[in-house]
Amino acid sequence: MKETNQWSADHYNKHASFVSDLALPVVELLDPVEGEKILDLGCGEGKLAIEIERSGAKVCAVDLSEDMVEKARARGLDAHRMSATELPFINEFDAVFSNAVLHWVKESESAVKHIHRALKERGRFVAEFGGEGNMRTVVGAIEEVFRRHPEFGVFKNPWYFQSVEEYRGVLEACGFQVGYIELIPRPTPIDDIAHWLDVFANGIVSHLREEERVLFNQEVRMLVKPKLYEDSKGWHADYVRLRVQAFKR
């Protein structure tokens, strides 16, 4: 059975608002223009789509989470539940924008093909998501906890953190000309790694009993604390982001 992360818009907003708060440089790279039609792929509750629409562009917002889509609609956005690998659009958008989503899509070539197809000729694709080395300390700790507890089953890593070379190859194979691509180390303050796990890793332990999920969080927290916590600064996540701008050939 495929394990899927469950997204609560309210829980996400409480413990992970930094995801959109830190994405304004990606919106600047997008550089939306009045009258453009832009697809926000993985819109969440729509915070960045609202920012993009301030330029006068029209945003179509899509997300796989129905809860997120409902929150985006409540903000007045044209929002729809949709998968990155099943986009129905053909030559429709001036740009496709995506933040903190595509590391969840292991079928990256399929997603990029659908993004390419959705764009108008010379349309641009601007995105940022987890890249090679992202959350390395946490992923290593999760692997260790599963090794310690065979009763938890097999760790099914839901993320795909690609290198510059890997993703450039995917983009070019799918018909894009890469204008800019870079890995950006970005240690990011968070309130507590246990809350990060609750938001971003709940699908990994969805098959466990409640007491096992509590144990999982406790042991991961203990393992990562020496590297990701300081008394004077609190917790941080060892993020590495892959930022890209590409154009449809």
3-state secondary structure of 102: helix
Q: CA-to-CA distance for 53 and 76, rounded, in angstroms?
A: 11
The domains found in the chain, sorted by start residue, are: 9-134+157-190+238-248 (3.40.50.150)
- Supply the mean pLDDT for the chain: 92
With a cut of 80, say whether residue 141 has pLDDT above it.
yes
The predicted pLDDT at position 193 comes to: 96
With a cut of 90, say whether residue 74 has pLDDT above it.
yes
Q: Is the pTM of this model over 0.75?
A: yes
Q: CA-to-CA distance for 36 and 96, rounded, in angstroms?
A: 11
Q: CA-to-CA distance for 28 and 52, rounded, in angstroms?
A: 9
Torsions phi, psi for 223 (to 5 deg): -70, -35
One-letter amino acid at 168 equals R
Higher pLDDT among residues 17 and 182, named by residue = 182
> Which is nearest to 83 in space by CA: 57, 102, 59, 58?
102
Q: CA-to-CA distance for 241 and 133, rounded, in angstroms?
A: 9
Lowest mean pLDDT among 15-19, 121-125, 208-212: 15-19
